[in-house]
Structure 1
Amino acid sequence: MSSSEVSYLSSPEFYSLSLYILGCIAFPIHLFGAWCILVETPETMKRVKWAMFNLHSWGCGLDLLLGILGQPFIVPPVFGGAPLGLLHLFGVDPGIQVYLMVTLMNMVAISTGAIFENRFYILFAEKTWWRYVRYPYYITNVALAFLYYVPTMMDIPDQTLAREWIFEHHPQVKRFDSPDHPIYVVAYNVPDPDWIRVRMIISVTIMVTECLTFFFLLRWQMKKATKLMTMSEKTLAAQKAFLKAINMQIAIPASVIGTPQILLIFIGYFGWNTSELNSFAYVVMSIHGASATLVMLYCHHAYREYCKGLLRGKLSGLKTLNRWSPFVSVTSSDRHRGVQ
């Protein structure tokens, strides 16, 4: 691919470099967030600890796949793209990479809903019929997440024929194709792309509905408990503070990953989609997990105080060093012994 055909800012090379830089910045943030959840979670949050760690782990995995391991470079209007990350360098099949990316997105959505379900169950449904139904509910959700992309994988076209077709009908995308990073076509012949979109819409609708159902059930039960005074004021205040922190922890990263997707769908409908816009969208989405971790560390009191303690310790250490000027005292006997 010659530089005369594609500017550097819109090239796969610049896109890949940007993702590597952001991925390397995000990785230590993920590790620190995991440490805080596992080690610094207080007793009052113990029962939600593993639900939070579950969400953090899937979000971290998605960030690493988008930013370092996979790096999907989408080339509209083709239903496909070129993988640029480490998995491609190690020879992992592009179809497997797409499967992992789609499955991780589904698991992030399921884990988000699990946070609200966990709170609802512990506070209001632990002694109801839901205690028996929740396990089949989670097994079904996880199974659907892992099986969702299987029909698409089974219908992946012959790449030689598919690439010939897209280069003939969309010659502008050939400039992004190279021997090192060939374009991988997921679907190209109607109605295959349409069925993929239909399954995508159904999947998103189900997951959003589940998440909102537990969100509003939790809010309704909290208001009911406040009105009937079935909980102490201290317990209610603590739960409301926790839910406020969880809402922020989920809403901001959801905006980071959801807004680019919605914009891509909108501009794609009007035919304004370009590889540059897709690249920018995926760069933004690749930091959603890191943004979720930073919001978590700020919004939850226990983690925020732990971070403040670390910062205070470092600052006090620096002040102590600055108060003492380094010098070496040399005595006359040292000089005789040749000490410099």
Structure 2
Amino acid sequence: MSFLKPTTLAEYYATNYSKCTETFSVFASQDFLLIGMKLEFLVILPINMFGFYCILFKSTKYMKEFKWHLFHLQFWFLLLSIFYSILTTPIHFFPAQVRCSIGFLRERGVGPLFQVIVVHFVYAGIVSAVVLLFENRHRHLAPTTDFSYRIHKSPRILLGILNFSVGITNTIPVVLQEETQEFLKLKYLEVLPCPMDLYFDVCSFAQSKRITGWSLLAYLTNVLVTVEIAFFITHCFFCLRKSQLVDTFSVRTKRLQVAFFKAAIAQVAAPLVVLFLPFIMLFYLLATSANLQGLINICVLFIPANSAFSTISLLYFNAAYRKFIKGLIQVPALMEISNNRVAVASSV
């Protein structure tokens, strides 16, 4: 199929796009994504609310400080799920760096650029909460003689500023990109010549892939935060192993330290496991430039599920919450057995 080289999106839509013969499945439609996201939200919200209830009211006295870090991280995970499932509901046009938000914010007239900025800030909150979670574990595991113990004091404020600045630095290249939306969308049509017609809607927003000073700053802050999280996790692991050999710690204290560290790892790792398939799909699309919009929409549905899987891992790996859930399950079973015995006795 031969394509002309139009200079505007309107011209492309009237000429080249009319020659496209692409057929999209029901999974590629915006109705599928909207309905799927709403149904998913109805499942995710009760799971998260139950998780918050357990954190606030079923945490033991040994989790007095730790529970607030669990709550903090879970709050940002839930916020990301709400933005993706209800507020923005983005359709991504991979391998083109273009997305079209069709959720509640679009109905209220919120521009696509502002929606992208808000999602970046939510991402910054997640990063900050993850670091604070492991910094809390590190503070309780690292001995006062360790070189890293000084992180426990005033440098924590600097760490907090650095971690949240990730969202800001990721937003700067988007806000200050020099190319116009018309130019970027036309450029990406060379990679994806026959997208869904929503690509040409005002809801779509394109991000530049050009390397600038601001984009390098964004990459640098992301690398620094990744190294920071890796340091806390690795150093916590080694400090934890050393603490198990210290005779002055009680057996209960050693078990609690191990349990809390496992719970923190599980709460962070569970969403990453959920997002593994979308990441693999993204790399495949970037490598092949295939137009698989239906599969992309299915992968997008995995993103809001991160908070539910994080909550489930949180409840499973914390003994206090696990014990509470077992009690909820066993009580109805015992009542049913008791009622059956009464019924049998009455019949006799």
What TM bracket, shorter-length normalisation? 0.7 to 0.9
Q: How does 1:277-316 map to 2 (within 5 A)?
A: 277-316=295-334
1:46 is aligned, of 43, 48, 64, to 64
Query: 1:184 is matched by which residue type in structure 2?
Result: F
Structural mapping, 1:142-157, within 5 Å:
142-155=164-177, 157=179
Partner Cα separation in structure 1 for residue 199 and residue 49 of structure 2: 35
More displaced, 243-252 or 160-169? Answer: 160-169
- Kindly provide the amino acid, as one letter, of the partner of residue 143 in structure 1: S
Alpha-carbon shift at residue 25 of structure 1 (Å): 0.6
Q: Which residue of 238, 263, 269 maps to 1:251?
A: 269
**Structure 1 partner of 2:207:** 186
Partner of 2:160 in structure 1? 138
| 1:237 equivalent in structure 2 | 255
> What is the distance in 1 between the residues matched to 2:196 and 2:251?
64
Equivalent in the alignment of 2:82: 64
Paired position in structure 2 for 1:332: none
Residue identity opposite 1:135 in structure 2: I
- How far apart are the structure 1 equivalents of 2:50 and 2:178? 39
Which residue of structure 2 lines up, in the alignment, with residue 95 of structure 1?
113
SS at structure 2 position matched to 1:82:
strand
Secondary structure at 2:206's aligned position in 1?
A: strand
What is the CA–CA distance in structure 2 between the aligned matches of 1:134 and 1:242, rounded to whole Å? Answer: 21
Matched, 1:25 2:43: yes
DSSP 3-state at the match of 1:149: helix
**Count of residues paired in the alignment:** 321
CA change 1:158–1:303 in 2 (3 A) is: same
Which amino acid is 2:159 matched to? Y
Q: Residue type matched to 1:171 in 2?
A: P
* Structure 2 CA distance for aligned equivalents of residues 156 and 321 of structure 1: 73
Describe the SS at the equivalent of 1:73.
strand
Relative to 1, partners in 2 of residues 1:209 and 1:4: Cα closer, same or farther, differing over 3 Å? closer
Q: Is the 8 A contact 2:111 2:203 kept in 1?
A: no
Distance 1:156 1:38 in 2: 47
CA distance in 2, matches of 1:53, 1:97: 25
Pair 1:60–1:214, CA change in 2 (3 A)? same
Q: Does the 8 A contact of 1:58 with 1:104 survive in 2?
A: yes
Name the SS for the 2:249 alignment partner.
coil
**Is the aligned partner of 1:129 residue 2:150?**
yes
What does 1:200-219 align with in structure 2 at a 5 Å threshold? 201-219=219-237
Q: 1:191 to 1:247 in 2, by over 3 A?
A: closer
Aligned residue type for 2:172: V
Local SS of the residue matching 1:171: coil
The alpha carbon displacement at 1:157 in A equals 4.5
- Verify the 8 A CA contact 1:5 1:175 in the aligned structure 2: no
Deviations 1:88-125 (A, max 9, x none): 11211111111122222232233223211101113336
Q: How far 1:150 sits from its partner (Å)?
A: 2.4
Q: What is the percent sequence identity of the aligned residues?
A: 23
Q: 1:220 to 1:88 in 2, by over 3 A?
A: same
Alpha-carbon separation, structure 1, partners of 2:168 and 2:143: 28
Gaps (5+ residues) in structure 2? Answer: 1-16, 344-348
CA distance in 2 between counterparts of 1:263 and 1:78 reads 14
**Residues 320 and 178 of structure 1, relative CA distance in 2, 3 Å threshold:** farther
Listed as ranges, the gaps of 5+ residues in structure 1 are: 326-340
Shift of 1:168: 7.1
Contact 1:61 / 1:104 at 8 angstroms: preserved in 2?
yes
Counterpart secondary structure, 2:289: coil
Partner of 1:331: none
SS at match of 1:92: coil
RMSD: 3.2
Deviation string, structure 1 residues 226-260 (Cα, Å, up to 9, x no partner):
33435233211221122223222322222112452
Cα distance between partner residues in 2 of 1:76 and 1:89:
24
Aligned 8 A contact 1:63 1:287 in 2: yes
- Which residue type is aligned with residue 122 of structure 2? L
Separation (CA, whole Å) in 2 of partners of 1:196 and 1:24 = 39
CA 1:195–1:323 in structure 2 vs 1: closer, same or farther (change >3 Å)?
Answer: farther
CA contact (8 A) 2:263 2:318 kept: yes
Distance 1:110 1:316 in 2: 44
**1:167·1:174 contact (CA, 8 Å) conserved in 2?**
no
Question: How far 1:320 moved relative to its partner?
Answer: 6.7
For the 8 Å contact 2:278–2:302, the answer to whether it is kept is yes
